[in-house]
Structure 1
Amino acid sequence: MPVQRSGSSFRRTFVTAAGAAVAMFSLLLTMPGAASAADKAAPAPERNASMGSTIVEHEGGLAGGTPAPSLAATIEGVDVSGHQGNVNWQTLWNSGVKWAYVKATEGTYYKNEYFTQQYNGSYNIGMIRGSYHFANPSDSSGAAQANYFVDNGGGWSKDGKTLPGVLDIEYNPYGATCYGLSQAGMVNWIKDFTSTYKSRTGRDAVIYTTTDWWTQCTGNNGSFGNTNPLWIARYASAPGTLPNGWGFYTFWQYTSTGPTVGDHNKFNGAMDRLQALANG
């Protein structure tokens, strides 16, 4: 004959089984593969870094770094992202800022919600402008991110007012400094991005980085200096030693605490050289 269970016995059995199921589900969530998937699925507002947002934490720098006074033939510029919201471009123009870079994308999961106001606003006030992509090599391939960038504001046109797109490759704000890649793997990822970007736009992407990060994560690889302009980040009175392969920088981000917009930069040349870069 079947054994009859009391109501309390049945409830204890059910609760025990349910607890075991919850414990097993929690264990699965902590496994490496599951954590990675959950991380990639994080909402966009939680995955929204900006150019230079990791620099002070890792390298420090002067709170209000001022470029060396000998840099006479330079043009002031700013870089902005969704963190700035709607930017007062008139104020920046009046202060002497003549060029701007606007964050377009990050990984393959984020698009700057203020991109139109920032990209068109800088153009309409008279600035030469371009867009940049914050790289997350742990999210997807270089080619996938280059295509996402071009498809969402990272293109280029020969109108004399559009600068080539920028690959912003810096310290990982979400985990391991080098995004879990070996030095050779990182070099290949960057080549994947830059070659795809050039095939889509006809331009070589500018590479934004720091000498310290580049040394750590690419082994100070020197194979990009002849093709990709360098945007060096260093919050000091001089740009310092450049990464291997580059004999000079094209842009220098010298502070993250400037007026109106924090990130201020110098173009290494006069206005006619900046126009030449825009024209390709």
Structure 2
Amino acid sequence: MPVLRSGSPHRSARSRATVAGILLATVSLLAGLPGTAGAAAPSRAPEPRHPDQDWAGSQIARHEGATTGLLPALPSLTASVEGVDVSSHNGNVAWSTLWSSGVKYAYVKATESTSYTNPYFAQQYNGSYNSGMIRGAYHFATPDTSSGAAQANYFVDHGGGWSKDGKTLPGALDMEYNPYGATCYGLSATGMVNWMKDFFATYRSRTGRDAVVYTSTSWWQQCTGNSTAFGSVNPLWVPRYGSSVGELPAGWGFHTIWQYTSSGPTVGDHDRFNGAYDRLQALANG
């Protein structure tokens, strides 16, 4: 019987087969490990079930309380401008009535997640503009359904853009308690901050503007670890229903807009811009 030498084709074939088997087993093992190319994608929450019930402050009122009936007398500010914010739950808005009462600007909900657009957006966004108001759009964030970049792009593509016409405010990102589950959408403080950075960077790249952030101090402390990452760049729109704006989230030395009631005349949500009308125009003009 002939002796097989080390360089024989039979032994080489067996060696190649053995190596191939080891490689296949290794690839199979890695495919089951988290963070590898073969791992399953992270699960996402389902799209919002009742986006028409989600608006700027809808969850603030539920979790932190809201004023009812007549408002207490508000302190006189050095200068302020009266505004409102609306969404589909307001339906067709009587803009001429609001304008006559002294309301000079409005924020209108445009989108939520990457699946919802406000069916009353045109009447509200264009109607406020046509009455003489400075207007802007806002996005209700659901950080567990898709990335910050995806939601920023959806927002810009569905009403959240900006133009330097002197009558359009930069878009706003509504960050508040989750209407569908875990308060912080299942994200860690770091994860939440990174999600917002993703949104803001994308919005800026699309529009050239830094978006406004709407949030309450309590939610911010709980869900971002009271992050100071945005205070020097993004204007703050803060809800607190009563006679004082109170403590601000970390990073901001002052607020730009104060949502001071959810039960004001005509539409409920009323806001005060922290400055004179020419400063509101400056915000619009960028």
TM range (shorter): 0.7 to 0.9
Change (3 A) 1:121 1:93: same
Deviations 1:156-182 (Å, cap 9, x if unpaired)? 000000000000000111111000000
Give the letter aligned to residue 46 of structure 2.
K
> What's the offset of the Cα at 1:50?
0.5
Q: 1:134 touches 1:167 (CA, 8 Å); kept in 2?
A: yes
**Which residue of 43, 47, 56 corresponds with 1:51?**
56
Partner of residue 36, structure 2: none
Matches within 5 A, 1:18-33: none
2:99 is aligned to 93
- The offset of 1:57, in angstroms, is 1.6
In structure 1, what residue type is equivalent to 2:56?
Answer: M
Aligned length in residues: 244
Q: Distance in 1 between matches of 2:60 and 2:280?
A: 25
2:203 to 194, 197, 204: 197
Identity score, percent: 69
1:60 and 2:65 are equivalent in the alignment: yes
CA distance in 2, matches of 1:268, 1:174: 32
SS, match of residue 160 in structure 2: coil
Q: Aligned match of 2:80 in 59, 74, 77? A: 74
Residue in 2 aligned with 1:177?
183
Could you say what secondary structure the match of 2:130 adopts?
Answer: helix
> Do 1:67 and 1:254's aligned partners in 2 also have CA atoms closer than 8 Å?
no
SS in structure 2 at match of 1:176: coil
Cα 1:182–1:163 shift into 2, 3 Å:
same
Task: Name the residue aligned to 2:11.
Answer: none
Separation in 2 of the partners of 1:228 and 1:212? 18
Note the 1:101-140 alignment, pairs <5 A: 101-140=107-146
Task: Choose the corresponding residue for 1:256, options 258, 262, 265.
Answer: 262
Distance verdict in 2 for CA 1:68–1:107, change over 3 Å: same
CA contact (8 A) 2:47 2:145 kept: no
Aligned to 1:218: 224
Are the aligned partners of 1:123 and 1:161 in contact in 2 as well (CA < 8 Å)?
A: yes
Q: Runs of 5+ in structure 1 lacking a partner?
A: 1-32
2:246 counterpart (240, 250, 257)? 240
Larger radius of gyration: 2
Residue 66 of structure 1: CA displacement?
4.1
SS for the counterpart of 1:78 is strand
For the aligned residues, what is the CA RMSD? Answer: 1.6
1:208 and 2:227 matched: no
Query: Partners in 1 of 2:110 and 2:250 — Cα distance?
Result: 28
Show CA shifts across 1:1-51 (max 9, x none).
Answer: xxxxxxxxxxxxxxxxxxxxxxxxxxxxxxxx9xx77x61565x4564101
| Between 142-151 and 57-66, the greater mean CA deviation after superposition | 57-66
TM-score (norm 1): 0.84
Please list the CA deviations of residues 112-146 of structure 1 after superposition, one character each: whole Å capped at 9, or x if unmatched: 00000000000000000000000000110000000
Q: Give the distance between the partners of 1:72 and 1:209, measured in 2 at CA.
A: 24
User: If the length of structure 2 is used for normalisation, what is the TM-score?
Assistant: 0.82
SS of match in other structure, 2:263 = coil
Counterpart AA for 1:58: H
Deviation at 1:60, TM superposition (A): 1.2
User: What residue identity is the alignment partner of 1:212?
Assistant: S
The SS at the match of 1:257 is: strand
